[in-house]
Amino acid sequence: MRFLKQLLIILSISLAGEVLSHYIPLGIPASIYGMVIMFTLLCTGVLKLESVREVGKFLVGIMGIMFVPATVGIIDCWDVVSGSIWLYLTVVLVPTVIVMAVSGFTAQALGRMKRGVKGQNES
């Protein structure tokens, strides 16, 4: 029963997310509303971590496989993509690597700065 209860809670939050996504016309999907709801419920203590932990961790652990069906859809728009293959390859590769580098560097530099300031204050 424990796992079914956990599943029920997670699916109910998914449903709540769907409702919000439908009635708030911002183009934000159900999953993002749901994630915010789940996070808020956990932080406020309304929902105990034990009430969702096993099923939640299982779902997060197998997430990779869930992207496969949509990605295979590339074979249906292959004609469009193969026509400008260089454009699409560049667009997929270059910004992804640059964004990863810039955001990672920025976060790391700010983290070090903060720790540096803290270290000075302490010493």
Interacting positions 49-68 with another protein (CB under 8 A): 49, 52-53, 55-57, 59-68
3 makes contact with another protein (CB under 8 A):
no
45 makes contact with another protein (CB under 8 A):
no
Classify residue 62 by its DSSP letter: T
d(CA 82, CA 43): 47
116 makes contact with another protein (CB under 8 A):
no
Residues 72-101 that bind another protein (CB under 8 A): 72-77, 80-81, 87-88, 90-101
Shortest Å distance, C-beta 1 to another protein: 19
Shortest Å distance, C-beta 4 to another protein: 14
19 makes contact with another protein (CB under 8 A):
no
Shortest Å distance, C-beta 122 to another protein: 15
Comparing CB distances to another protein, the nearer of 71 and 120 is 71
Cα-Cα end-to-end distance for the chain: 55
Size of the site for another protein (CB under 8 A): 73
Of residues 35, 41, 42, 43, the one with CA closest to residue 17: 35
DSSP string, 64-122: GGGGHHHHHGGGTSHHHHHHTHHHHHHHHHHHHHHHHHHHHHHHHHHHHHHHHHHHHHH
